[in-house]
Amino acid sequence: MSDRPIHPIQIAAARSGLSPHVIRVWERRYGAIKPKRGPSQRRLYSDKEIERLALLSEATRAGHPISSIANLNASELQRLLNKSKGARQAAIVRVTDEGAVFRGECLQAVRRLDAKALEQSLQGALVTLGHQGFLQVVLAPLSEEIGTRWREGTITAAHEHFFSAAAKVFLGRVSKQFAAESGAPNLISCTPLGQLHELGAFMVGAAATNLGWRVAYLGAALPAAEIAGAALQNQAAVVALSIIYPEDDPDLPEELLRLRHALPNETSIIVGGRAAPAYANSLKRIRALMVTSLADCCDVLDRLRREHRRQAGAKPRA
């Protein structure tokens, strides 16, 4: 790795994940980096300095204030990061273990068709794990497990419908507390024609609301033209689709193509759900972003929200 200062600040920013503005602030205010100056007085950075910026960036994302770590050397920063990663992994194990306990309680309540016990378990999971933890390690895997048990015949359709209805009511009540800020991007959530299982789409809507999106939930089994019409009316930046069952609908690929053709090119389509991989070729044709889990979907939504904010900030004001 070279010590030669040869890279301009744009390269340092791209490789470290920081903006040029943040790099300059860290230099002037905290002395975190001391770049050399070229003949034209432009800052120049070496490979080692860029790696240091990347370590500082990762450490701040882990929760360490730049003021307390700006003067640590590379070895000290790496030790700090390793310690933080260990703590995060331990926390993930704890959350996962607690999630398994709550999922077990909920499943027993579903088997008994006990609405009160189910709501108490859902509420306990929400309070203990927080909104995203509740969605990602309790509700999403529980929904998948109940769907699997229904297909295997170990529970009935009545149990599956009971759970879906109760979860929708609970999520609807919880999501009301999150008010989207002014200028928040719009998202449409639903299932396409032929897809009757809507809880996945409802969960995505709830997660997106928590992440700062303005969500319009449309329900299940909507034709492409109606989804596109709602997206256009709402100026939606994203259309999120859940595809759960069946995995072999011969009409769905054409329906997805109709949706893509009816939407503006800049509108992103996010698709997830148990049956989504069965339509991978069609999803590739419509340039959909296929997600493999609710956590994956949240990562994509967070990235798209940041991009929307940057683009909105770059537009000239009237």
In the predicted structure, residue 220 carries a pLDDT above the cut 60 = yes
- Give residue-wise pLDDT tens across range 14-31: 888 777 888 888 888 888
Phi, psi angle pair for 173, to nearest 5°:
-70, -40
Query: 26 or 237: whose pLDDT is higher?
Result: 237
- Give residue-wise pLDDT tens across range 46-65: 888 888 888 888 887 666 77
Longest dimension (CA), the chain: 77
Extract the tokens encoding 250.
């011969």
Q: What is the pLDDT of residue 2?
A: 64
Q: What is the pLDDT of residue 310?
A: 80
